[in-house]
């Protein structure tokens, strides 16, 4: 597994850039992930709102929230989320929030 310096901490990342040790996640790591993996700099207030919600949901339920709930609870439109995180909520926002890679269906 590759290693990368993110926000001053050396983190293990997988082939898609998701961190492997969610416990080591900090705000600085999130900013590092946003810049390195998603080309987002700096994180806006709305981006933090989204990332913090995903993070808290993951801590509570050990899974990523459904898109509909995410949009509703954060009061953000899906297209706006794609503007903030061009790779989308899964490959963008979840990655920055330090979640393991979401499983999906092709």
Residue numbers at the binding site for another protein (CB under 8 A)? 15-16, 18, 63, 66-68, 71, 78-79, 82, 86-91, 101-106
From 38, 71, 74, 105, active-site residue: 105
∠ Cα 34 39 45 (to 5°): 50
C-alpha–C-alpha distance, residues 105 and 7, integer Å: 32
**Which CB atom, from 42 or from 103, has the smaller least distance to another protein?**
103
For residues 17 and 37, the answer to whether their CB atoms sit within 8 Å is yes
The CA R_g of the chain, rounded to the nearest whole Å, is 13
- Residue 74: CB minimum distance to another protein, A: 14
**Which CB atom, from 43 or from 91, has the smaller least distance to another protein?**
91
- Residue 32: CB minimum distance to another protein, A: 19
38 is catalytic: no
- Residue 24: CB minimum distance to another protein, A: 20
Is 96 buried (19+), middle (13-18) or exposed (0-12) by CB count in 10 A? buried
Task: Just list the catalytic residues.
Answer: 105
């Amino acid at each position: 597994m590759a290693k990368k310096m993110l926000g001053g901490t050396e983190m293990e990342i997988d082939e898609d850039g998701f961190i492997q040790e969610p416990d080591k996640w900090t705000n600085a790591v999130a900013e590092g992930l946003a810049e390195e993996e998603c080309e987002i700099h700096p994180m806006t207030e709305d981006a933090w709102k989204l990332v913090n919600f995903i993070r808290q949901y993951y801590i509570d339920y050990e899974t990523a929230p459904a898109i509909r709930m995410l949009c509703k609870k954060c009061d953000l439109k899906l297209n706006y989320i794609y503007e903030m995180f061009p790779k989308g909520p899964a490959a963008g926002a979840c990655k920055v929030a330090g979640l393991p890679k979401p499983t999906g269906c092709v």
